[in-house]
A and B are shown apart, each in its own frame.
Chain A
Amino acid sequence: MERHLDKELQELKTEILRMGGLVENAIGVSVEALKQLDRLAAEKVICSDKAIDELELGIDEKSLDLLALYQPMAVDLRFITMAMKISTDLERMADLAVDIAQRVLELSGKPLLKPLVDIPRLAAVAQDMTKGAIDSFVGADVSLAKNVILRDTEADSLRNKVQVELINDYIAKDKSSVSRAIPLLLIARHLERVCDHATNIAEDVIYMVEARVVRHHQEKL
């Protein structure tokens, strides 16, 4: 039996996908802006944030309406509540893309401190995890969601590596490098946070599909 609610849920899903697409794009552009130290691209990312914020508000409102009007149960309830959480994570990810873009603006016009090696690697992991998280939501794909969650340690160790290198090889040795090292340090941190949010989304997808809470309990994966 096709329910009116099904149509509403489909619309909600479409909105999340639209938001996910914009967020993926914002992260992609911010990473490109970093690699090229491209101010224009960085500004584009900053401008794109407003549309994402609007989508988040729309998704929240729609979800609340559905909760109030349909009083959904079981799988429907899980879908709607997770849609709300996922949109919050997506919005934060977009904010992190903006943060990266702002660091790019700080870095541009000056020679790079060093050739970027691990940061692009970390960026690739972040983009992969973001895409994986969104795809796992679209396809209600638990095994994909698990893969996303398991990659988070890779992101953590890359971030640590970048941090140790920048602090030991540059900041500790040469005070004049600080103004160019700190933005890179922060970018590594922003990218790692992107991965954390992707992990949250993947965890929510597992709850949505299987009603299993794996948050804070990786052993339950």
Chain B
Amino acid sequence: MNNTAFSIKQMRAFYGAKEVIKGVDISIMPNTVTALIGPSGCGKSTFIRSLNRINDLIPSFRISGDIMYRQKDIYDKETDVVELRRRVGMVFQKPNPFPKSIYENIAYGLRIHGLNIKDTIDEIVESSLKKAALWDEVKDNLKQNALTLSGGQQQRLCIARTLATQPEVILFDEPCSALDPISTAKIEELIHHLKQNYTIVIVTHNMQQAARVSDYSGFFLLGELIEVGRTHEIFTAPKDKRTEEYITGRFG
């Protein structure tokens, strides 16, 4: 399986002594959308945050297993974490733009990665905002402070910011949970488009959203990946009783 984006075997993750991911195996194919669902505390966010090593920032965090991205162990000592996070970008639950202008929000990351040519930066700002379906709404106000945008616009700005550094994968950690239905629909529409060029992994509590946007779905429970498969099958005919109980709301 050389064409997988992520190939993960026996992932175990701990916060201190507490094991929060208990031996997860999953392959994620390029140019697909994989949705991860499961109750709070099931390990799905820890899982997604392990894919670009954002969890490294938590001192008590430990991880083991084979976590391969494009056949390379991302937890290898040689891994350039900054480069990994450029290739594997992330959009969070709450839009978190920098308290700077719309333009600077996108240009900032480019400069960090060593780009200093203004014309090129202008071009990337524009193309990123276009890809994130925000350009038409902000093109005349690029100098405006990003915090004056609506929540949905801020979230699309964060997506544009992620796209600017030309990632291969975008991780979405509940990207719509703070958004109204219209903004949610826009983000979902965007995810459909982005799939052509990016590999997408999305954590969501919204089952209908998972069903709408993803090609594959995985159900996490108490640190285990109970079932993963084609979204169409997971939501019409799940194989595991626990998956069925969760998605039909019979849990507990």
Which residues of A are at the interface with B, using a C-beta cutoff of 8 A? 1, 3, 5, 71-78, 211
Contacts and interface: CB of A to CB of B under 8 A. Distances in A.
A74 B249 contact: no
Contact of A75 (B208, B248, B251): B248
Interface stretch (B80-88, B101-109, B170-178, B236-244): B236-244
Contacts, number: 33
B208 A78 contact: no
Interface string B219-252: 0000000000000000111100001100111111
B235 A73 contact: yes
A3 B247 contact: no
A73 B251 contact: no
Contacts of B211: 73
Contacts of A77: 235-236
A74 B247 contact: yes
B62 to A, nearest CB: 35
B249 A3 contact: yes
A108 B76 CA distance: 90
Nearest to A78: B236
Contact of B236 (A3, A5, A71, A74): A74
B68 interface: no
A3 B248 CA distance: 10
A1 B249 CA distance: 9
B250 A73 contact: no
A71 B238 contact: no
B68 to A, nearest CB: 32
Contacts of B238: 74
B237 A1 contact: no
B207 interface: yes
Contacts of A74: 235-238, 243-244, 247-248
Interface of B: 207-208, 211, 235-238, 243-244, 247-252
Given A71-B208, A73-B211, A75-B244, A211 B237 contact: yes
A205 to B, nearest CB: 15
Nearest to A6: B250
Nearest to B211: A73
Which residue of B207, B248, B251 has the most chain A CB atoms within 10 A of its CB atom?
A: B248
Which residue of B237, B251, B252 has the most chain A CB atoms within 10 A of its CB atom?
A: B237
B252 A73 contact: no
B248 A73 contact: yes
Nearest to B237: A211
Contacts of B243: 74
25 contacts: A1-B249, A1-B250, A1-B251, A1-B252, A3-B249, A3-B250, A71-B208, A73-B211, A73-B235, A73-B236, A73-B247, A73-B248, A74-B236, A74-B237, A74-B238, A74-B243, A74-B247, A74-B248, A75-B244, A75-B248, A77-B235, A77-B236, A78-B236, A78-B237, A211-B236
A211 B244 CA distance: 12
A71 B206 CA distance: 11
Contacts of A1: 249-252
Contacts of A211: 236-237
Given A1-B249, A74-B237, A74-B238, 5 more contacts: A1-B250, A1-B251, A1-B252, A73-B235, A75-B244
Contacts of A75: 244, 248
Contacts of A78: 236-237
A71 B243 CA distance: 16
Contacts of A73: 207, 211, 235-236, 247-248
A140 to B, nearest CB: 14
A71 B211 CA distance: 11
Contacts of B249: 1, 3, 5
A76 B238 CA distance: 12
Nearest to A70: B249
B242 to A, nearest CB: 12
